[in-house]
Structure 1
Amino acid sequence: MIKRIDHKRMGKSNKGWLNSIFHFSFAEYYNPKNLSFGVLRVINDDLVEVGEGFGTHPHQNMEIISYVVEGELTHQDSMKNKNTLKRGEVQYMSAGTGVYHSEYNQGNQTLRFLQIWIMPDKTGYTPNYGDYKFAWEDRKNKWLQIVKGSKGDAPIQIHQDANIYVVELEKDKEISFQVDARRQAYLVQIEGKSIINQEAMNPKDGLEAIEEDIQIKACEKSHILVIEMKSKMQK
C-alpha cells in the first residue's frame, strides 16, 4: 500500500524565529488519526533563523535523530557533548532515562533540518549521543544508510528495529527501495520533485509504503530520506 501525504495538509507552526511542518501530531498540531507511523513518532521539518534555536530542555525515552538539510546545527547537552553539523550530516541522541540539550543556529544562514523521533524498543536506556559527518558523494544516485537498527553497517545505531537511508538523484535517474513483507517505510521528499509509484512528489511531501516496494524517478535533482521499520500491524 502506498499513500502520498501532501505537505500543504500537514500540521504547521510559525513562531517567527521557527517555521515548522509536522508530519505527525506535535506541539499545537494534534490529530488523533495522525499520531505516528509504527514506531516513527515525529518528523518535523524545521527552519530556524540565524541566532535562534531551542534552549536547554529535557527528553526521556526517545531515539532522536537530526538530519541537516541547509545551514549549521549546533548541539550541546548535559552529557558534555558539543558539536556543529552541516548539510548532510547527522546527530543522534538516545534520551533514555533523561537528558537535557539545546539546538541552535549559530551559522550565517537559515538552518533547515529534519527532527526525527523514534520510539525505543524499551525504556530506561542510559542516555547516549553521537554524530557523523557523511561525505555528500556517498548518497549520489545510490542509497546511503545513515542509521541502523536491525540491519546494515551504518555508523549510528538506535535502540529500535528501524533503519534510515538517504539519496540524491540526478534528473531522470531511477532507483528502487525494497519494503519486505511485515515491513513498512516512510519517505520524505526533502528537495526536488519526483514520481514515486505513479505519485507526483513535491518538496517536503511525505509517503507511506506498507509491504510495497518504492519506485522512484527524479523529475529534477531530488534529495530523499526513507525510514524503514517493522510493520505497524506486527506485534
Structure 2
Amino acid sequence: MIDIRPFASLGHARHGWLDARHHFSFGGYHDPARMGWGAIRVWNDDRIAPHSGFPPHPHRDMEIITYVRSGAISHEDSLGNKGRTKAGDVQVMSAGSGVIHAEYNREDVETTLFQIWIETDRPGVAPSWGMKPFPKEARQDSLQLLASGERSDGALDIHADARVYGATIVKGGTIEHAADPARHYYLVPSGRIEVNGVEAGARDGVAIHGESAIQIHAMEDVELVLVDAR
C-alpha cells in the first residue's frame, strides 16, 4: 500500500515567525485518520523566520530527529548541550526522563527543516543530544543512514526500532530499497518522484506499508528523507 498525503492536505499553523505543516495530528491540528504512522508520531515541515525560534519547553520519552533543509538551527538544553546544525545535517534528541530545550534560527535567512518524532523503546532513560554533519554528496543517488536504533557506525543513535535515511537523486535517476511488508515507511521529497510507480509531488507525504521493495524514481532533481519504523 502506498498512500500519498498531498502537501495541500497537511495541517497548517502560522504563528508569524513560524509557518508549519503537520503530516500528523499536532498542536491545534487534529485528524483521527492521521495520528501517526507506526511508531512515527510527528513529522513537521517548518519554516522559521530569521532571528526567531522555539523558546525553552519540555519533552520526555520521545526520539526527536531534526533534518535541516536550508539555513541552520541552534540548539540549547537543560543538560548544557549547545550546537548549530546547518542544511543537510541532522540532530537527535532523546528526551528520555525529561529535558528542556530551545531551538533558534539565529541566521539572517529563513531556516527550513523537518522535525520528526518517533516513539521511544526505552522510556525513562537519561536524556541526550547529538548532531552530525552529513555532506549531501555522500548520498547522491543512494540512501544514507542518518539515525538508527541499531548503533550503526556513522549514524546518530536513537532509542527506537527505526532508521532515518537521506538521499539526493538527479532527474531521471532511480534508487531501490529492500522493505519489510510488516514495517511502516514514510517519505517526503523536495520535488516530483514516483514510488513504485505512484506519483508524489514536492513535500507530499508518502506512507508505505505492505511492500517488499521501494523503488524511488526522480522526475526532477530531489532531496528526500525516508523513515523506516516498526
Q: Same fold (TM over 0.5)?
A: yes
- Correspondence 1:4-19 to 2 at 5 A: 4-19=4-19
Structure 1 segment 113-152 matched on structure 2, within 5 A: 113-150=113-150, 152=152
AA at the equivalent of 2:123: T
Who is 2:194 aligned against?
Answer: 195
TM-score between both structures, scaled by the size of structure 2: 0.96
1:56 aligned partner: 56
The alignment partner of 1:138 has SS state of: helix
Q: How does 1:200-211 map to 2 (within 5 A)?
A: 200-211=199-210
State the identity as a percent.
37
Cα distance in 1 between the residues matched to 2:13 and 2:81: 29
Output the CA distance in 2 between the equivalents of 1:70 and 1:97. 31
Aligned to 1:216: 216
Which structure 2 segments of 5+ residues have no match? Answer: none
Say which SS state the counterpart of residue 121 (structure 2) adopts.
Answer: coil
SS in 1 for 2:137: helix
What are the equivalent positions in structure 2 for 1:36-51 lying under 5 Å apart? 36-51=36-51
Answer yes or no: is the 8 Å Cα contact 2:95–2:127 preserved in 1.
yes
1:173 maps to 173
Q: Which amino acid aligns with 2:209?
A: I
Residue type matched to 2:215 in 1? Q
Q: 1:142 is matched by which residue type in structure 2?
A: S
How many pairs are equivalent?
Answer: 229
- How far the C-alpha of 1:219 sits from its partner, in A, is 0.9
Contact 1:179 1:209 in 2 (8 A): no
Contact 1:51 1:106 in 2 (8 A): yes
Deviation at 1:186, TM superposition (A): 0.7
Q: Secondary structure at the match of 1:34?
A: coil
In the TM superposition, what whole-angstrom CA distance separates every residue of 1:179-216 from its partner, at most 9, and x where no partner exists? 11322211111x12112222221111011111312211
Q: Deviation above 2 Å: which 4+ runs of structure 1?
A: 150-155
